[in-house]
Amino acid sequence: MTDPQNEPTVESRLAFQGKILNVRVDTVRLPRGTLGTREVVEHSDCVCVVPLDEGNNVVLVRQYRKPAEESLLEVHAGGVEEGESSLDAVLRELQEETGYTADSLQHLSSFWTTPGFCTELMHSYLATGLRPSSLEQDEDEDLQVDKVPLPEIPDMIRQGEIRDAKSIASLLMVLHLYR
């Protein structure tokens, strides 16, 4: 009998190969013995960071997100490049997107972004001790940096001003630390 928590892969085929993600279609054996199909988006690990300045302001980024067809206010995020640690990726993203680096990084959590169909694992950090240090932005990004007082974050989430899951999860973890 198969483990009820496991769906062994019987066959796997690559349906799409892209620059930042691949899509594969897996045929799996279900616990009751029948076959099922799983469409899986393969995506590398990512990082996100909540930069908190000495004035208790969160440094957020506003950028247009094509799938949502709107500009979203978010924590900073990006992919972990091959051979790069999540800590190195956080510092790189922080410098590229905000013009800051951090004296202190605290790992908040690692979580699956959309485990129903995607392999992306997000590593979330809090950055403090911010000081100027910039790297050039990615050429396909157009970002606006906003500072928001930490106490305003819960209302912004409730009112739908902050709407993406990585930002909500990471900001709520930081709020928990500072209550």
96 a catalytic residue: no
Q: What's the burial of 178, exposed, middle or buried (CB within 10 Å: 0-12/13-18/19+)?
A: exposed
Q: How confident is the model at residue 179 (pLDDT cuts 50, 70, 90)?
A: confident
The rounded mean pLDDT for the chain is 93
Q: Assess whether pLDDT exceeds 50 at residue 2.
A: no
- Of 54, 82, 136, 139, catalytic: 139
Q: How confident is the model at residue 13 (pLDDT cuts 50, 70, 90)?
A: very high
- Least Cα distance to 38 among 122, 119, 121, 120 occurs for 119
List, as one string, the DSSP characters of 131-165.
Answer: EE---PPPTT---EEEEEEGGGHHHHHHTTSS--H
Tens of pLDDT, residues 17-43: 999 999 999 999 999 999 999 999 999
Non-local (6+) Cβ contacts of 125 within 8 A are 47, 48, 49, 50, 86, 87, 90, 105, 106, 107, 108
Q: Give the residue-averaged pLDDT of 126-154.
A: 86
Q: Give the residue-averaged pLDDT of 71-85.
A: 96
Q: Assess whether pLDDT exceeds 50 at residue 161.
A: yes
For Cα atoms 161, 119, 138, give the angle at the middle one, nearest 5 degrees. Answer: 60
